[in-house]
Chains A and B, each alone.
Chain A
Amino acid sequence: MNEDALHILLADDDDDDRLFFKDAIKEVKINTVVTLVKDGVELMNYLEKPDIVLPNLLFLDLNMPRKSGMECLQEIRSNNRLKDLIIAIYSTSALEKDVKGTFVKGANIYIKKPNDFAILKELLTKVININWQYHTSDFNKENFLLYVQ
């Protein structure tokens, strides 16, 4: 593997979901560094620190206490330093209005959380693989839209 590792950040308030996610990511072929946060306030505090390595890919749960995923999405897209982050909404909801709504507000990827661990691994592999291609080629990230379920 020649390229550096992919930095992944997950914001999710559910302890089990965070654990599943971390385990599933371990099985993806691409080299990753994973950071986990528990809610929207913790997420924004983390992102606003000046000395962190910005994640290549942010997985954002919609339903979080203190600050929702939607609020974070909007804040991130209006922040000059953060606006180019690739954001994957990671949610139990599959309502069309949520999916389209988050894309319109600037999300790149929408993943409906699966109940099955094997399916989660498959979905994450697909997302990370495609994101990796965007990271290592000159694809237009603004048009990067991906909906997986």
Chain B
Amino acid sequence: MKLNIKYDINICCKTILQEQLDKLELAYIINGLGEIELKQTIGDEKYKTLEAALNKYGIEIIKNPKQVLTQKIKNAIVEMVFLKETLHTKKNSAFLADRLNKSYNYLADVFSEVTLTSIQSYIILQRIERTKQEIIEGELTLTEIAWKLKYSSAAHLSNEFKKITGLSPTSFQQILESRKKTDFTSQE
């Protein structure tokens, strides 16, 4: 029998982090934006054990300061696109600058240096990602999804979707449904 699930990635990650940190008997606080504050210094060996344990779950500890900042920017973008349900009047650039307490130009420079793409392009990719999730969940119409993601209309959403993916939202949905029917063995 098949079970269809939906998951909250934030809860998944937080739970994994807590379990792994508790296993190593570390005292810690999990801050927002992907930061863990350890309440004591941690020796090399324990650090490596922790790192290996987290890597198994696809969680990486980032060391390079520009990479750290880039990840914070990505997390803030996800927050902006996925979690901010209410219409905010702030522009994306102002939101990020305020959230991360740095000038937008500086953020943009570091981001494009590390990721080889622009913040703006990345924001669009995240919106498309969210659109895909909403389409798969199948609870909202395209118009409702457009409104939720702050597009000016369903047409605007479709245009952006097609521009980035080459497929219309409807084709995308049809393909995924056909995949399920093909008893596709690649299930996660």
Name A residues whose Cβ lies closer than 8 Å to a Cβ of B.
1-2, 29-30, 77-78, 83-84, 100, 103-106, 110, 129-130, 132-133, 136-140, 142-143, 145-149
Chain A: minimal CB distance from B159 (Å): 15
* Cβ–Cβ contact B167 & A104, under 8 A: no
* Cβ–Cβ contact B125 & A147, under 8 A: no
B64 within 8 A of A: yes
* Cβ–Cβ contact A147 & B167, under 8 A: yes
Chain A: minimal CB distance from B145 (Å): 15
Chain A: minimal CB distance from B169 (Å): 11
A138 surroundings in chain B (CB, below 8 A): 9, 58
Nearest A residue (CB) for B175: A103
B148 within 8 A of A: no
A106/B179 contact (C-beta < 8 A), A137-B74, A138-B9, A142-B188 known: yes
In the bound complex, what is the Cα–Cα distance between A132 and B112 (angstroms)? 13
* Cβ–Cβ contact B9 & A84, under 8 A: no
Nearest B residue (CB) for A147: B166
Q: How many A-B residue pairs have CB under 8 A?
A: 66
* Cβ–Cβ contact A145 & B175, under 8 A: yes
Most buried by A among B9, B67, B117, B129: B129
Nearest B residue (CB) for A132: B116
In the bound complex, what is the Cα–Cα distance between A83 and B187 (angstroms)? 9
* Cβ–Cβ contact B186 & A143, under 8 A: no
- Other A-B pairs, 17, CB within 8 Å; known A2-B67, A77-B184, A147-B167: A2-B114, A77-B185, A100-B171, A100-B175, A100-B178, A103-B175, A104-B175, A104-B182, A106-B179, A106-B184, A137-B74, A142-B188, A143-B136, A145-B172, A145-B175, A146-B166, A148-B166
* Cβ–Cβ contact B166 & A133, under 8 A: no
B186 contact from A106, A140, A146, Cβ within 8 A: A106
B132 within 8 A of A: yes
* Cβ–Cβ contact B186 & A77, under 8 A: yes
B64 surroundings in chain A (CB, below 8 A): 2
* Cβ–Cβ contact A140 & B116, under 8 A: no
A84/B171 contact (C-beta < 8 A), A130-B125, A139-B129 known: no
B95 within 8 A of A: no
B166 contact from A83, A106, A129, A149, Cβ within 8 A: A149
B48 within 8 A of A: no
In the bound complex, what is the Cα–Cα distance between A133 and B119 (angstroms)? 12
In the bound complex, what is the Cα–Cα distance between A143 and B136 (angstroms)? 9
Show 19 A/B contacts (Cβ-Cβ < 8 Å), sorted by A.
A2-B64, A2-B114, A29-B116, A77-B184, A83-B185, A100-B178, A104-B179, A106-B179, A106-B186, A129-B117, A130-B125, A139-B129, A140-B132, A140-B133, A143-B136, A145-B165, A146-B166, A147-B165, A149-B166
B15 surroundings in chain A (CB, below 8 A): none
* Cβ–Cβ contact B186 & A133, under 8 A: no
Most buried by A among B122, B165, B182: B165
